Structure 1
Amino acid sequence: MVATRQEGTTVKPLSDGTAFVEGAYVPIGEARLPLLDWGFTRSDVTYDVVHVWKGSFFRLDDHLDRFQRSCDRLRLNPGYGRDQTREILMRCVSLSGLREAYVEMICTRGVPAPGSRDPRLCRNQFFAFAIPFVWIFSRSRQKEGAHLIISDVPRIAPVSVDPTVKNFHWGDLTRALFQALDRGGDSAVLLDGDGYLSEGPGFNVFRVHQGGVTTPEGTVLEGITRASVRELCEELDIPFALTRITPDELRDADEVFVSSTAGGVMPVSRVDQRILGNGRPGPVTLRIRELYWRKHEQGWHATPVDYESP
């Protein structure tokens, strides 16, 4: 077990999670953010999440690319180049010793100059951490399929907050999640301003109908696992399209599933009060999900973590 920062007789482990804060690697329980950082007080922040599975990052370069695009669009400068960011993420994982991990990189606006509200005068800050793998839906829940609720909470309009830039504007997503939990569901999918499906709290949603797969476009995060689903469909000769989807079309689907870095491809067996198929994960979903994890085992889009370097 790796440990750091001995305090008296207490040694705090890095194996519970490792963070990179102000140039130092610390146990996740010791990571701190300045109270006046606009990332905290204004949600003026961007981030990205990549996972590690069996000792390798999955699609690390794609996540680094998206993180840089997000920083550029929000006029944020993390202060570290791409190779440095990669090394920091690698180090967070290797210090923790985690073989399956949820790894996040964050850039905040930072603390403003005293008495100033000018964002140009803030010194942007970079943080990162690695913690044990996070599942949106537990493995046991995935075996029977999750229960999604179509929320009446509208997704924030793209003209206000760009959905392709990962952000912490989760007020609408959190309201919808509470609504779903109060109604006995596992999570929610929100609608855009025109009444079409958008996305859920941390995931993209997919409809399977007559053997083809469709997923919303335009008002959603362009998920990297979503891109993986597209590649898998092409490999399996399953028709795939980005399109508008109505709530009724989702309820009437043959199958439904969601995708996320936090869990991969995850089946849904119920939408609102409608049970899909026989109330279990459908055959198309299972084919995609099985191939997703099998290709993980084969090193698909993998970047191995160096656990040996000091």
Structure 2
Amino acid sequence: MEKMILNGEMKDRSEIRIDIEDRGYQFGDGVYEVIRIYNGLLFAGDMHIKRLFQSAELISISIPYTQEELMEQLKRLVKTNDLQSGIIYLQYTRGVSPRSHAFPFHQVEPVYVAYTKEMPAAKGEKAAVRAVTAEDIRWLRCNIKSLNLLGNILAKEEAVKAGCEEAIQHRGDIVTEGSSSNVFIAANGAIKTHPANNLILNGITRQVVLQLCGKLEIPVQEEAFTMEELLKADEVFYTSTGVEVTGISEVDGKIIGNGQTGPLTQKLQQAFCQEIERQCGRI
């Protein structure tokens, strides 16, 4: 029987009950993380947990564990479910309280859930995918990994309806990020990606890729770029826990480069696989 965590306790999925007045359910009042598992080990787990605590602090949710204690719970969940390749999803909500927009007047305990899901590990180079662009209609605190994802969902649905894998969001002429990813462009041997400010989520895979660029001596500019730069780029790729590092072959029907995964993207895909092997062993 698959196990989940509810408020620090390991339970069967059938035992999990969430109150109808949980503020995560009624307001999206909470934060979450998704951590990739390779060979039964958490990839970049410390970075994910650190970001979870940062997001929680920014919306005044107090997590009643240390980062080390939470990490040990997640490792135990992976081991209990015998998960070799997949993800952990975990979230904290502000807790259960009678419905009111303001924070509860009385002290409430946050509600914490975590579960695992199988997902095959990607190996080596992945085929490039198609994308569309979409106006970024989200709120102005995208650096918080909150449960409020309706704007992201609507953008992703635009991509799905167009037969594409991702929607690249923009505020006016400035590209921000994907609906569930970070976006990079490459031109003249250098890479550019939006700076990690309040307009994007500083993705963990994004951070790992930037570290790899440093090791590989690939020039990087963390600065905003335009829609025109996006469409004229030599290469476009996107990153996330789920897609890892994946090339984008076409945006809004415009072929990027030669319509295949570009050489810089391939180089980073290979380096990313090596980083997975360094942390978690060969996949």
Q: TM-score if structure 1 supplies the norm length?
A: 0.83
Distance in 2 of aligned mates of 1:265 and 1:191: 20
3-state SS of 1:205 partner? strand
Q: Which moved more, 1:21-30 or 1:262-271?
A: 21-30
- Aligned CA RMSD, in angstroms, stands at 2.4
Inter-CA distance 60–114: structure 2 relative to 1 (3 Å threshold): closer
Q: TM-score if structure 2 supplies the norm length?
A: 0.90
Of 29, 46, 52, the match for 2:37: 52
Q: Does 1:171 align with 2:157?
A: no
1:77 aligns to what? 62
Of 196, 220, 225, the match for 2:200: 220
For residues 176-195 of structure 1, what are the structure 2 equivalents within 5 Å?
A: 176-192=155-171, 194-195=172-173
3-state SS of 2:268 partner? helix
The one-letter code matched in structure 2 to 1:58 is F
1:199 aligns to what? 177
2:19 aligns to what? 34
The one-letter code matched in structure 1 to 2:77 is C
| Residue segments in structure 2 that go unaligned for 5+ positions in a row | none
| Residue segments in structure 1 that go unaligned for 5+ positions in a row | 1-12, 304-310
- Shift of residue 85 of structure 1? 0.7
Distance in 2 of aligned mates of 1:116 and 1:294: 47
Deviations 1:172-217 (A, max 9, x none): 111111112212221201112x431111222100001111111112
Distance in 2 of aligned mates of 1:21 and 1:282: 44
**Do 1:134 and 1:263's aligned partners in 2 also have CA atoms closer than 8 Å?**
no
Distance in 1 of aligned mates of 2:63 and 2:94: 9
**Do 2:85 and 2:120's aligned partners in 1 also have CA atoms closer than 8 Å?**
no
Distance in 1 of aligned mates of 2:60 and 2:234: 43
**Do 2:8 and 2:73's aligned partners in 1 also have CA atoms closer than 8 Å?**
no
**Do 2:90 and 2:114's aligned partners in 1 also have CA atoms closer than 8 Å?**
yes
1:25 aligns to what? 10
3-state SS of 1:208 partner? strand
- Shift of residue 157 of structure 1? 3.6
The one-letter code matched in structure 1 to 2:268 is I
Q: How many aligned residue pairs are there? A: 278
**Do 2:6 and 2:113's aligned partners in 1 also have CA atoms closer than 8 Å?**
yes
Distance in 1 of aligned mates of 2:114 and 2:76: 10
**Do 2:123 and 2:273's aligned partners in 1 also have CA atoms closer than 8 Å?**
no
Of 120, 123, 130, the match for 2:109: 123
Distance in 2 of aligned mates of 1:195 and 1:44: 31
Question: Percentage identity across aligned positions?
Answer: 26
Q: Does 1:287 align with 2:267?
A: yes
3-state SS of 1:80 partner? coil
**Do 1:144 and 1:279's aligned partners in 2 also have CA atoms closer than 8 Å?**
no
Distance in 1 of aligned mates of 2:98 and 2:8: 21
